[in-house]
Chain A
Amino acid sequence: MSAGTVPEVSTWGAFVATLRRDLLVAFKRRNDLLNPIMFFLIVVTLFPLGVSPDPLELAGISAGVVWVSALLASMLSLDNLYRADYEDGSLEQLLLSPQPLFFLVLAKNIAHWLISGLPVVVLSPLLAYMLYLPEGAYWTLVLTLLIGTPVLSLFGSIGVALTVGLGSRGLILAVIVLPLTMPVLIIGAKAVTDVMFGLPVGSHFALLGAMLAVALSIAPLASAAALRISVN
Chain B
Amino acid sequence: MWLWFSKLGSPRWFYELSGRWLPWLYGAMALLLLVGLTWALLFVPEDYQQGHTIRIMYIHVPVASISLACFPLMAIAGAITLVWKMKLADMVAKCVAPIGLWFTGLALATGAIWGEPIWGTWWAWDARLTSMLIQFFLFVGVIALRSAIESPDAAARACAVLAIVGAINVPIIKYSVEWWNTLHQPASRISMDAMSPNPPEIWVPLLIMISAVYLLFVISLLLRTRNEILVRERRSQWVTDLIARSQS
Contacts and interface: CB of A to CB of B under 8 A. Distances in A.
Interface residues of B, number: 27
A175 B164 contact: no
B154 A207 contact: no
Contacts of A166: 148-149
Given A229-B158, A229-B161, A175 B140 contact: yes
A230 B148 CA distance: 12
B34 interface: no
Interface in A197-232: 207, 211, 214, 218-219, 222, 225-226, 229-230, 232
Interface stretch (A124-132, A140-148, A183-191): A183-191
Contact of A179 (B137, B149, B164): B137
Contacts of A165: 149, 154
Given A225-B82, A230-B154, A232-B154, A182 B161 contact: no
A182 B179 CA distance: 13
A175 B177 contact: no
A186 B144 contact: no
A212 to B, nearest CB: 12
B145 A226 contact: no
Chain B, interface SS category: helix
B134 interface: yes
A218 B165 contact: yes
Interface in A138-186: 155, 158, 162-163, 165-166, 168-169, 172, 175-176, 178-180, 182-183, 186
Contact of B141 (A179, A186, A218): A179
Interface stretch (B17-25, B44-52, B167-175, B225-233): B167-175
Of A166, A182, A186, A225, most buried by chain B (CB within 10 Å of CB) is A182
Contacts, number: 79
A219 B173 CA distance: 16
Given A175-B144, A229-B154, A187 B176 contact: yes
Interface in B82-131: 82
A232 B151 CA distance: 10
Contact of B166 (A163, A178, A180, A207): A180
A201 to B, nearest CB: 13
Contacts of B148: 163, 166, 168-169, 172
B162 interface: yes
A166 B82 CA distance: 20
Interface string A4-23: 00000000000000000000
A230 B158 contact: yes
Contacts of B172: 183, 211, 214
B145 A218 contact: no
A168 B147 CA distance: 12
A222 B162 CA distance: 8
B154 A172 contact: no
Contacts of A226: 158, 161
Contacts of A225: 82, 157, 161
A155 B157 CA distance: 18
Contacts of B165: 155, 158, 180, 218-219, 222
B176 A172 contact: no
A190 B82 contact: no
B138 interface: yes
A92 to B, nearest CB: 16
B180 interface: yes
B158 A183 contact: no
Contacts of B138: 179-180
B144 A172 contact: yes
Contacts of A190: 180
B142 to A, nearest CB: 8
Contacts of B173: 179, 182-183
Nearest to B82: A225
B38 to A, nearest CB: 39
Nearest to A176: B141
Contacts of A186: 176-177, 180
17 contacts: A158-B162, A158-B165, A172-B145, A172-B148, A176-B162, A179-B134, A179-B141, A179-B173, A180-B165, A182-B173, A183-B173, A218-B168, A219-B165, A226-B158, A229-B154, A229-B157, A232-B157
Interface of B: 82, 134, 137-138, 140-141, 144-145, 148-149, 153-154, 157-158, 161-162, 164-166, 168-169, 172-173, 176-177, 179-180
